[in-house]
Amino acid sequence: MSDDKSITEIGIGIIGGGYMGKRHAVAFQSVAATFETNLRPRLEMVCASTVESAERYRRNFGFSKATANWKDVVNDEQVQAIIIASPQETHEAIAVAAAAAGKAVLCEKPLSTSVESGERMLAAVEKAGIAHMIGFNYIRTPASQMARKMIARGDIGKLTHFRGEHTEDFLADPEIAANWRTSGISNGTMGDLAPHMLNAALALVGPIDRVMADIQTVHEQRPDGKGGMQSVTNDDQAQMMCRFSNGVMGNLFFSRVATGRKMGYAYEITGTKGAIRFDQEDQNALWLYEHSGPEELRGFRKILTGPAHPDYEAFCIGPGHGTGYQDQITIEAKDFLQAIETGQLVWPTFKDGLEVERIVAAAHESSNNKSWVQVLNQ
């Protein structure tokens, strides 16, 4: 941000005080000092499912007010920007109300529970003309931002193939009891993990034209915590072939039962002049292969992130020291404040979130019909 602009406070309301609610609270407390933004966030109100938990979040995170009714946050005159960190089935109602009130909205992924719901959300924010973003934080690492720049300027030539995965193992053990994650299609792997890697594919390669998917529930029953068993009503893993609109082939895999994988957000992009690899479990490194020089010296080389890479220097001036998960959310907060201040939307917006929803819907249709499916209405 430039020094010749005035410093202005902005009231932040966060709906949902759990894991992501806390992450956003910490980010908006630190973003002004980290990036020296002209908009200075003030934690105004937090909303949780009960008055008691909301008051606990208010006290622990530093908010001025607490409530158990999200409408209080939207209607509060001291709140100018809304962060939606509540379950996805609540996203539409909150976003539409916030748009009607003229308040900027940052919504956690996935955008909503269906394409139709996402379309209504996008229509509401576009009609209101407000700043809006969706929370795909992983693509904001300095390494992945650098990968986007390298691909855009042609460093690895014409793209020929994309391989991506988002794999974790938090439900790999079949003895883990059924919980909210094992019920409801939007809480399955295609609703939870897949959107992050699909967003990465769109960011790095471009729009997806058609998909062929196979979606599976590996552990169909789980203990119910009462001595019995409960049916799992959503998916554990999925594989997908895709063809991007620019002709690039793609292969993606998503899983919450990938034993040993803790944060397997990883991709490899192949081009005619080189290739790029990235793995979130080593988020401060990017691997680059350049198809040049003597054959005996060729191979992937490790690039450690540092101040020369996007958004790194605000956190540390030392190359190789690294950034972490919370820093991704702080970068996201900075981008959101920039969109509010300038009136210019910052990627990814609700439109980008809706594009992911359409791909997920096409994947479910493909898996059910066992056929290629066109991704519609891009």
**How far is residue 13 from each of residues 25, 52, 107, 156, measured CA to CA in Å?**
9, 17, 12, 43
| Domain stop point among 138, 166, 200 | 138
**CA–CA distance, 12 with 29 (Å, rounded to integer):** 10
Q: Are strands 285-290 and 301-304 parallel, antiparallel or unpaired?
A: antiparallel
Please indicate, yes or no, if residue 336 is contained in any of the structural domains.
Answer: no
Whether 308 and 163 share a structural domain = yes
For the stretch 97-152, pLDDT in tens is: 999 999 999 999 999 999 999 999 999 999 999 999 999 999 999 999 999 999 99
Q: Are strands 208-216 and 373-374 parallel, antiparallel or unpaired?
A: antiparallel
Whether 149 and 79 share a structural domain = no
The identity of residue 132, as a single letter, is H
For the stretch 264-300, pLDDT in tens is: 999 999 999 999 999 999 999 999 999 999 999 999 9
Whether 62 and 171 share a structural domain = no
Please indicate, yes or no, if residue 80 is contained in any of the structural domains.
Answer: yes
Range of the domain at 367: 142-318+353-373
Q: Mean pLDDT over all residues of the chain?
A: 96
Please indicate, yes or no, if residue 288 is contained in any of the structural domains.
Answer: yes
| Domain stop point among 84, 113, 138 | 138
The identity of residue 31, as a single letter, is V
* pLDDT at residue 6, as a whole number: 83
**CA–CA distance, 31 with 351 (Å, rounded to integer):** 25
Please indicate, yes or no, if residue 111 is contained in any of the structural domains.
Answer: yes
Whether 89 and 190 share a structural domain = no
**CA–CA distance, 234 with 224 (Å, rounded to integer):** 16
Find how far residue 91's CA is from the centre of its chain.
15
How many structural domains comprise the chain? Answer: 2
Whether 89 and 217 share a structural domain = no
Q: Which helix (H) or strand (E) segment is 21 a member of?
A: helix 19-35
pTM of the predicted model as reported, rounded to 2 decimal places = 0.95
Task: Look at residue 55 and tell me whether its pLDDT is greater than 90.
Answer: yes
**CA–CA distance, 44 with 83 (Å, rounded to integer):** 12
**How far is residue 282 from each of residues 63, 159, 276, 304, measured CA to CA in Å?**
34, 24, 14, 10
**How far is residue 154 from each of residues 139, 146, 198, measured CA to CA in Å?**
19, 12, 22
Find how far residue 12's CA is from the centre of its chain.
20
Task: Look at residue 1 and tell me whether its pLDDT is greater than 60.
Answer: no
Please indicate, yes or no, if residue 324 is contained in any of the structural domains.
Answer: no
Q: What is the full DSSP assignment across 26-56?
A: HHHHHHHHHH--SEEEEEEEEE-SSHHHHHH
Which residue is it, tokens 């790999």?
172
Q: What number of CA atoms fall less than 13 Å from residue 34's CA on the CB side?
A: 25
User: Could you tell me what percent of the chain has a pLDDT over 90?
Assistant: 97
Please indicate, yes or no, if residue 243 is contained in any of the structural domains.
Answer: yes
Task: Look at residue 18 and tell me whether its pLDDT is greater than 50.
Answer: yes
Phi, psi of 301 (to 5 degrees): -120, 145
Q: Are strands 264-271 and 159-167 parallel, antiparallel or unpaired?
A: antiparallel
Please indicate, yes or no, if residue 378 is contained in any of the structural domains.
Answer: no
For the stretch 158-183, pLDDT in tens is: 999 999 999 999 999 999 999 999 99
CATH of the domain at 53: 3.40.50.720
Phi, psi of 199 (to 5 degrees): -60, -40
Whether 150 and 282 share a structural domain = yes
Please indicate, yes or no, if residue 59 is contained in any of the structural domains.
Answer: yes
Phi, psi of 29 (to 5 degrees): -75, -30
Q: Which helix (H) or strand (E) segment is 63 a member of?
A: none
Higher-scoring residue by pLDDT: 6, 18: 18
Whether 85 and 218 share a structural domain = no
* pLDDT at residue 3, as a whole number: 53
Burial status of residue 375 (CB atoms within 10 A of its CB: 0-12, 13-18, 19 or more):
buried
- Confidence band, pLDDT 50/70/90 cuts, at residue 2: very low
Nearest to 349 by CA among 359, 358, 341, 339: 339
Q: What is the full DSSP assignment across 82-112?
A: EEE-S-GGGHHHHHHHHHHTT-EEEEESS--
* pLDDT at residue 238, as a whole number: 98
* pLDDT at residue 196, as a whole number: 98
* pLDDT at residue 376, as a whole number: 83
